Amino acid sequence: MITPHRPLAAGVVADHYQELDRLYREVWGEHVHHGLWRTGRESPLQAVEQLTAFVAEQAGVRPGDRVCDIGSGYGASARLVVKWFDAAVTALTIVPAQQAFAEATNPGATNPRYLLRDWLENDLPAGSFDAAYAIESTEHMLDKARAFSEAFRVLKPGGRFAICAWIAAERAKPWEKRNLLEPICREGRLPGMGTETDYRELLAAAGFEVEAAADVSREVRDTWAICVRRAIGRFFTDPAGRAYLLSTASRNSIFAVTLVRIWVAYRTGAMRYLVFRARRPG
């Protein structure tokens, strides 16, 4: 497990997404996750929707299922799962701006149900979901063991669980840890970036059977070249964005540098992207 040199302060994850709310949506859109390029010809929007489709497939979502979206961002994947499967989706985020945005996409609607709530204290009933997925949210959780035991608890026996995770190479070189992985954790507000072995062990300890771990690093990594290009474009064309990045009062502007580190980390192999498929036995 790669961890920041100094433990992250409480609240920094929500603060990161709250402060970067506008930047995230302008640079990348409503899906705050990687795109998946199967042919290489997909548009960025097609690529992010393709990743959601892959996750839903890995989570075995079926028509009418009750589904939990753990760390749901702006709710874009949750809305697609409702649309594609007529599923009943509960979506949790800890970021007020994300929940407000999600609610505003269809005011008054109750599916998806958007909760502003910490997954580690989710208070959802046991055995209440057929499927659950976590797209790039478990990296942000300090207590991953609890994150997975909560997923196990809320799933019905036989329930399916898909997790997309930023993964550290098992044997990252010292310079990669020093210049890429540790700063990515610190600047990206990840209290821990696990290896594939870490995730497999944590899932198994929570009671899950891990059925697969698809390495789609090559199919997702173009995300960062696009983000870097768009961020540079905004720097030159958007005075407010430029002022934010240059202001010493900005707490999260360093993430512009992190984008480049992540791009490099995929190229060297220090960072991987895995989609785990797990099942609660029974």
∠ CA 175-176-178, rounded to 5°: 60
Identity (one letter) of the amino acid at 58?
Q
Task: Draw the binding track, 116-155, toward ligand SAM (x: CB under 6 A; -: no contact).
Answer: --xxx--------------xxx--xx--------------
Q: Which stretch binds ligand SAM (CB under 6 A): 27-35, 36-44, 207-215, 220-228?
A: 27-35
Query: What percentage of the chain's residues is helix, strand, coil (to nearest 5)?
Result: 50, 20, 35
Q: Is 252 in the site for ligand SAM (CB under 6 A)?
A: no
Token pair for residue 226? 């696009």
Query: What's the rounded Cα separation, in Å, for the pair 258 and 193?
Result: 14
Rounded CA-CA distance 65/161 in Å is 13
Minimum Å gap between C-beta 173 and ligand SAM is: 26
Tell me the C-alpha to C-alpha distance, in Å, between residue 83 and each of 3, 58, 76, 89, 145: 38, 17, 11, 10, 32
Nearer to ligand SAM, 49 or 130 (CB): 49
Q: State the minimum distance, in angstroms, from the CB of residue 136 to ligand SAM.
A: 4
Of 33 and 261, the one with the shorter C-beta distance to ligand SAM is: 33
Shortest distance, position 83 Cβ to ligand SAM, whole Å? 15
Other C-beta atoms closer than 10 Å to the C-beta of 60 total 17
Nearer to ligand SAM, 93 or 258 (CB): 93
The one segment of 25-33, 101-109, 213-221, 228-236 that binds ligand SAM by CB under 6 A: 25-33
Q: Which is nearer to ligand SAM, 12 or 173 (CB)?
A: 12
Strand order of the β-sheet with 155-168 is 113-116, 88-93, 66-70, 129-135, 155-168, 271-279, 209-215
Q: Rounded to the nearest whole angstrom, what is the least distance from the CB of residue 172 to ligand SAM in the complex?
A: 21
Question: Closest Cα to residue 275, out of 125, 77, 114, 83?
Answer: 77
Nearer to ligand SAM, 72 or 252 (CB): 72
Q: Is the dihedral of CA 89, 53, 155, 116 positive or negative?
A: negative
* Site for ligand SAM, residues 51 to 80, rule: CB under 6 A: 71-73, 76-77
Binding site for ligand SAM (CB under 6 A): 13, 17, 31-33, 71-73, 76-77, 92-95, 98, 118-120, 135-137, 140-141
